[in-house]
Amino acid sequence: MKNLKYIVLSLLATAALLGCKKDPELAVTDVGPEMSVISVDEKAYFGAAISFEVSMQDRLPLSTLKAQVFFDDEMVAEEVIRTKTSGTYEGSVVVPYYKDIPNGDATLRFVGQNIEFGLTTIEQTIPVSRPEPAYLTFVLDDKEYRMEPTGTKYEYAVTDNFPQKASGYITTPELDEAGSVVTFGYDTAAGGVVAGSTDPIPFSNSNAGEYTITFNILTFAGSPFTTLTFNGTEMAMVDSDNYSIVTTLTQNEVYEMSGIADFATWDIDRDYFERADAANPEALTFLPMSGTYKVTANFKFNYLKIEAMNSATELGTLSADGSGTAIWVIGDTNVGKPSTSNAASWNPENGGLCMARVADRKYQITLVAGTSINASKFDFKFFWKKTWDNGEFLGKDDPTFKNPYGVVTTDSDIIKLSDSGNVGLVEGKTLDLGGVYRFTLDVSGGTMAATLSLEKIGEEALPAADLTINGTKLEQVDSSNYTIDLDLTQGQTLTFGGSDMFMPAWINPDFFAITSMTTATLVPVSGKYRITVDVSTSVIDALVLNADGTGLATLDDSGHGAVYFIGYGLGSPAAANEPGWTTEKGICVPEAEPGIYRMTAQAGQEGSTVLGQRFRVNGWSGKFYKSRGWSDLGTLTLSEGSDAYFQIVSGGNIEMATGVSLEEGATYVLTLDVTGGNDKPVLTMQKQ
């Protein structure tokens, strides 16, 4: 019977082979490699590495050696070593550092595997304890503070003069001979301190001065943290700059904000609150219609922000008949609260401004020209939601538009509406600097018949800095920006003065060469220049003007004037400020010498906010133009060697050469040469 069985099976196998091609079978074995632990650390610290040496022998080629750490039955760490041949393998696996875990025994499991999935497992018990270093280090910006043990087990403290917000991280000294260290930082998603992070822990005190910072390396508890309450209820910390609460607010009721030492100096959104009592700046009277609102205390801008809510988690929205809880303003960097430094921006989730519902189907937003809205230019729109997804108001009824949810009209002689609903200034009109303006959107007739009105309701003095160049006072544009137009000669010395003048954090090297703490010389050719000073960022920049001062210079037929970069890859004063395809944001490059236009900058990552890192390391796509408009130059050619950086693609766009990136932090010089004619521009890129 046994032989017959084998004969039958053989015939069946032969038939199968004749009938079709057999799939290859996966070779497996249940025999793993021979393993022995040559050495392993006898004990370990949380946050430190366990070193090991393991011998592996097998008749088959090897695959992997895994070192796994278990707390009880849970694997908490694993290190995988790729293996091929029999031999001895060394490595280490780090024991994770968690809070509230007591000292005890961990299981160290070694798992060896060959290419046919044969496994061998060896387990060892390793005592693991929490380290008790002699000190910790608190890192605040570029300063370090030594934290000493307090006498309470695992707790450390430092007393010093700190700012009111002392956001920093904590690190241990080296815990073992391998140099293991543990850092402690804040994790917003986790809602607290975690090991392995260097994100700042938002320590904060009621005021600046001498106070004590403490931290416990077992419980991760620390102090001090600001405790804010709104009308007696504690606000939740969103991140180091923001605390919020969602609550019901009733029109004309008084609410109290507590926990902010300098709250009297904070900006209180005038559309939502007014201070109820001059003697008690924390008492606030709520002005709009009653409802559910999110109140956010923002320490970055010392600003109390209010947003209407449909529920505890859903932001306010509008309905087609005009009913609802909110209308949102989304726009460019020239509109923001409490100032344009916190602009609405075209990123609605981050920057959308909530209009106050002051009556049924009537919404308002109040802005100050020169502070929260640019007096001479702005561009924004109204939306049903704080998102691009549906609810965009147009300037005319256009059923072909993808989201025709509303139409706005206005009879104002100061502002106008484009067909797509963008709100801007009428040609030749400006807002009065310091004027308080109220925009009111009335949707009582439904969203398809919305009306927009603008009313100047007051004046307020803007804080003015005392800034001079060569003895002439600069003109204030808004709360932080100043300008002056000057006729200058190449190499001329500029002297910065005035009681508020500063040594800039950044001065545009294409225009100026710093010669002392208060002086610089003009780099480009002689001409008329508009020098700009931003006191909020300590940046000095410039633009090239026509000789008569009537506007921005253009590249004339003789190759003189200025050129402008529009697109992606260049930004100024940082890569984050690239113009995109918005012509009015084109980067002005001056004439360094006749017919030669030069820009010198460091390379930085996309979105870099480091002043001077104006060239993206990669991802360029843009062009040079003869004006801040669509006035093309001739087709670009690359000088010898510049093809190592660039390629000129269809349409004349400048892009990085395939596979090429600039070196982050390195300085490069970009030169546009039109000495052969505007129709024959030559581009050169050099690393300094």
**CATH code at position 120:** 2.60.40.2550
Q: Is 8 inside a domain boundary?
A: no
At 101, list the tokens: 């875990």
Mean pLDDT of 377-388: 91
Query: Which of 551, 567, 585 lies at the terminal end of a domain, its last residue?
Result: 551
pLDDT, residue 344, reads 65
Mean pLDDT of 360-373: 95
Q: Are residues 485 and 447 in the same domain?
A: no
Identify which of 259, 257, 152, 266 has the alpha carbon closest to the alpha carbon of residue 204.
259
* CB distance 451 to 408 below 8 Å: yes
Q: Is 675 inside a domain boundary?
A: yes
Identify which of 463, 438, 431, 385 has the alpha carbon closest to the alpha carbon of residue 270.
438
Query: Which of 459, 489, 521 lies at the terminal end of a domain, its last residue?
Result: 459
pLDDT, residue 6, reads 33
Helix H or strand E segment including 598: strand 596-604
pLDDT, residue 16, reads 42
Identify which of 568, 562, 497 has the alpha carbon closest to the alpha carbon of residue 533.
497
Into how many domains does the chain fold? 5
Confidence of residue 389 (pLDDT cuts 50, 70, 90): low
Q: Is 479 inside a domain boundary?
A: yes
Angle subtended at Cα 481 by Cα 571 and Cα 166, rounded to the nearest 5 degrees: 80
Q: Are residues 204 and 83 in the same domain?
A: no
* CB distance 243 to 235 below 8 Å: yes
pLDDT, residue 11, reads 32
Secondary structure of residue 182 in the 3-state scheme = coil
Which of 398-407, 441-450, 536-545 has the least mean pLDDT?
398-407
d(CA 143, CA 167): 12
pLDDT, residue 208, reads 83
Identify which of 83, 88, 79 has the alpha carbon closest to the alpha carbon of residue 56.
88
Question: What phi and psi, each to the nearest 5 degrees, are found at residue 17?
Answer: -65, -35
Q: Are residues 181 and 169 in the same domain?
A: yes
Q: Are residues 513 and 619 in the same domain?
A: no
Q: Are residues 193 and 302 in the same domain?
A: no
CATH number at residue 475: 2.60.40
pLDDT, residue 334, reads 87
d(CA 453, CA 433): 19
At 326, list the tokens: 């909110």
Query: Is the pLDDT score of 408 beyond 60?
Result: yes
d(CA 365, CA 455): 11
CATH number at residue 329: 2.60.40.3620
pLDDT, residue 399, reads 64
Confidence of residue 176 (pLDDT cuts 50, 70, 90): confident
* CB distance 65 to 98 below 8 Å: no
Q: Are residues 215 and 291 in the same domain?
A: no
pLDDT in tens, 236-257: 888 778 899 999 999 999 999 9
Q: Is 9 inside a domain boundary?
A: no
Per-residue CA distances from 163 to 140, 206, 208, 537 (Å): 10, 10, 4, 20
At 479, list the tokens: 């709360």
Mean pLDDT of 193-209: 89
Q: Are residues 575 and 498 in the same domain?
A: no
pLDDT in tens, 47-72: 999 999 999 999 999 999 999 999 99
d(CA 617, CA 671): 17
Identify which of 126, 143, 137, 160 has the alpha carbon closest to the alpha carbon of residue 46.
126
Strands (E), 448-549: 450-459, 468-469, 472-473, 475-476, 481-488, 493-497, 506-507, 512-514, 519-522, 527-534, 539-545
Query: Which of 551, 583, 603 lies at the terminal end of a domain, its last residue?
Result: 551
d(CA 353, CA 373): 12
Helix H or strand E segment including 139: strand 136-140
Query: How much of the chain is in helix, strand and coil states, percent to nearest 5?
Result: 5, 50, 45
Mean pLDDT of 7-26: 43
Query: Is the pLDDT score of 26 beyond 70?
Result: no
Domain that holds residue 599: 556-688
pLDDT, residue 278, reads 81
Q: Are residues 601 and 682 in the same domain?
A: yes
At 384, list the tokens: 């049903």
Q: Are residues 341 and 328 in the same domain?
A: yes
d(CA 634, CA 84): 60
Confidence of residue 28 (pLDDT cuts 50, 70, 90): confident
Query: Is the pLDDT score of 3 beyond 50?
Result: no
Mean pLDDT of 398-416: 81
pLDDT in tens, 463-515: 788 899 999 999 988 878 899 999 999 999 999 998 788 778 899 999 999 99
Q: Is 12 inside a domain boundary?
A: no
At 307, list the tokens: 């947003």
Query: Is the pLDDT score of 9 beyond 50?
Result: no
pLDDT, residue 8, reads 33
Q: Are residues 344 and 472 in the same domain?
A: no
At 501, list the tokens: 């003048």
pTM of the full structure: 0.62
Query: Is the pLDDT score of 280 beyond 60?
Result: yes
d(CA 629, CA 581): 10
Q: Is 19 inside a domain boundary?
A: no
d(CA 203, CA 225): 5
Percent of the chain surpassing pLDDT 70: 94
pLDDT, residue 403, reads 53
Confidence of residue 404 (pLDDT cuts 50, 70, 90): low
* CB distance 587 to 579 below 8 Å: yes
Q: Are residues 349 and 452 in the same domain?
A: yes
Q: Is 237 inside a domain boundary?
A: no
Secondary structure of residue 655 in the 3-state scheme = strand
pLDDT in tens, 564-619: 999 999 999 999 999 999 888 999 999 999 999 999 999 999 999 899 999 999 99
Q: Are residues 190 and 172 in the same domain?
A: yes
Q: Is 633 inside a domain boundary?
A: yes
Which of the pair, 361 or 537, is modelled with greater confidence? 361
pLDDT, residue 2, reads 32
* Residue 9: strand pairing partners: none
pLDDT in tens, 300-313: 899 999 999 999 99
